[in-house]
Amino acid sequence: MTAPAMTDLERILAIEEIRVLRARYFSGVDGKDWAGFRALFAPDAELSFPDDVPGLVLRGAAGIAEAVAGSLADVCSVHHGHMGEISVHGADRGSGIWAMEDLLWFGAKSSAPGLRLHGYGHYHDEYVRAEGGWLFARVVLRRLRVDRWEA
């Protein structure tokens, strides 16, 4: 038996909840709220940056949060997400593509002191609805361009 189709209102509410999820991703990273950031991911989620670190796939909510927190230690970051193209594929699955821009300033105690980055690209997301709401199941950041310079 197939699940009943979502109503228009249910679909619109799901899309809005997914928009908030993506916003919390950016504010969690930039605010260094690693517990809040971790809570955005399904337990078996994946996060990858194939244009930045080819072959690396972070797995699991705890592993994702720990790795991102470590890579952004003593880094000031500003992330912007724009023009979310969100599709809901039933009551508990969805996907989205988000244009993005980020700026990163690496501090003296970071992995690359003095480095500055300005990046552009798209986040390709897969979402799953769990008991507490929508979560990231898979996130892939594809870069279009990264400008780098030393301070």
pTM of the predicted protein model: 0.94
Range of the domain at 55: 8-150
48's CB contacts (< 8 A; 6+ apart) are 56, 57, 58, 139, 140, 141
**What is the pLDDT of the chain when averaged over all its residues?**
96
Q: Is residue 2 part of a domain?
A: no
- Convert the pLDDT of each residue in 75-95 to its tens digit: 999 999 999 999 999 999 999
The CATH number assigned to the domain holding 29 equals 3.10.450.50
Helix (H) or strand (E) holding 103: strand 93-106
Q: Is residue 49 part of a domain?
A: yes
- When divided into structural domains, the chain yields a total of 1
Q: Is residue 3 part of a domain?
A: no
Please state the separation of Cα 145 from the chain's center in Å: 18
- Convert the pLDDT of each residue in 1-54 to its tens digit: 565 789 999 999 999 999 999 999 999 999 999 999 999 999 999 999 999 999
Residue 26, both tokens:
């950016």
pLDDT of residue 5: 85
Q: Is residue 13 part of a domain?
A: yes
pLDDT of residue 151: 82
